[in-house]
Structure 1
Amino acid sequence: MNASNPKFDLRGINHLALVCSDMRRTIDFYSGVLGMPLVKTLDLPDGLGQHFFFDCGGGNTVAFFWLADSPDAAPGVAAPKGRPDEGELASAVGSMNHVAFAVPPEKFDEYRRRLEAEGVVVSRVLNHDDSPSGVSRDVHPGTFVQSFYFQDPDGILLEFACWTRPFTDDEVRHEPRTAADRHAPSAL
């Protein structure tokens, strides 16, 4: 992908900040299972909590807050209840739906097997395309990304994804939906 930004010299995601219930368990998963180095830790002032950063490659980080007074998780509101292959995709406006990590296509199947060997429940492989269902059984010329999903110990939905082809100029062709469309009877 080589789309350029004429307004700002953005260089990717500095960090995505999520909230966990147990920082030790989060370190065990992100550093232990996923191999992401823990690169920065902070205790927040006045006993508010902690903020830890993990290197997820390419100069990007995933960060976690552990906050002493965080409300409990709200699956189906703040995040999907499960994985997309289980029919779970919805989360509330303003929520973080999932984090997709880019992986090399040649390592895709190996990484899936390695997570399964670690005891992580992973989805079936999804070949995302422009068909009515949005996925196909096999990779074909219309497949643009191949991925699978899994959840961290707090139920945060994660994805390993690899692009299968570059985007073309005709890929942006859908009319944007509006807030008024959210509760209107579906015209689709």
Structure 2
Amino acid sequence: MQRIHHVAYRCKDAKETVDWYGRVLGFAYTNAFAEDHVPSTGAYDPYMHVFLDCGGGNVIAFFELPEQPEMGSDPNTPAWVQHLAFEVSTLEELEAAKAHIEGLGIDVLGPTYHGIFRSIYFFDPNGHRLELACNIGTPEQYAELERVARPMLEEWSETKKAPQHAQWLHVDPGSLVE
């Protein structure tokens, strides 16, 4: 594998989605496909498939499916679980993005501390949860997380309880009081 070619999600309105991602996140609208029949299956199902450049060779795409039932959420999966996370370079960029997004009237949660990154969360007009994240970890922290990854997975597989191997991730040094 070389990289992810694109990730595709459903949208309610292709034009609204393209315009929103351009205005809110600065993503460039690059191209679209529109068909009455699905090329892979031959099934009749008219669609508009739009592609947005997220930067760094990353592409997100959306399908508008006007003849399908309305979009809905999975009632068995909490809204915070399925999300798209985009990376910004600095904490200043993260704060600026938060201010920009809130300035557009969009509710933003965070920044949230995750040990090796901080992030903000918000929803697009289709109900997809988005995250902007800024890495703040040290090489030693990333190495430690890699070292404990397999033991954590094994413990989780056996107990279905949160392993404590990386508990240090949850202590925000900015919240410590001396």
Give your verdict on TM over 0.5. yes
**Partner AA of 1:27 in structure 2:** V
Match of 2:126 in 1: 154
Q: Deviations over 1:39-78 (max 9, x none)?
A: 0111123461110000001101000001123332333438
Identity among equivalent positions (%) equals: 31
Moved over 3 A (4+): 76-81, 185-188
**More strand by proportion, 1 or 2?**
2
Distance (whole Å) between structure 2 residues aligned to residue 171 and residue 124 of structure 1 = 27
Unmatched segments (≥5 aa) in structure 1: 1-7, 82-88, 91-96, 129-142
For 1:170, give the aligned amino acid. R
Cα distance between partner residues in 1 of 2:47 and 2:65 = 4
Q: How far off its partner does 1:33 sit?
A: 1.9
Distance 1:54 1:79, change over 3 A: farther
Pairwise CA distance, 1:186: 5.7
Whether 1:111 and 2:97 are equivalent positions in the alignment is yes
Counterparts of 1:44-123 in structure 2 under 5 Å?
A: 44-46=35-37, 48-77=46-75, 80-81=78-79, 89-90=80-81, 97-105=82-90, 106-123=92-109
The letter of the residue matching 2:7 is: L
Aligned-residue CA RMSD (Å): 2.3
Q: 1:49 and 1:76 mapped to 2: Cα distance?
A: 22
Question: Which residues of structure 2 form unaligned runs of 5+?
Answer: 38-44, 163-178
Give the helix-richer structure, 1 or 2.
2
Number of residue equivalences: 147
Distance 1:187 1:149, change over 3 A: closer
Classify 1:15/1:186 alpha carbon distance in 2 versus 1 (closer, same or farther; 3 Å).
closer
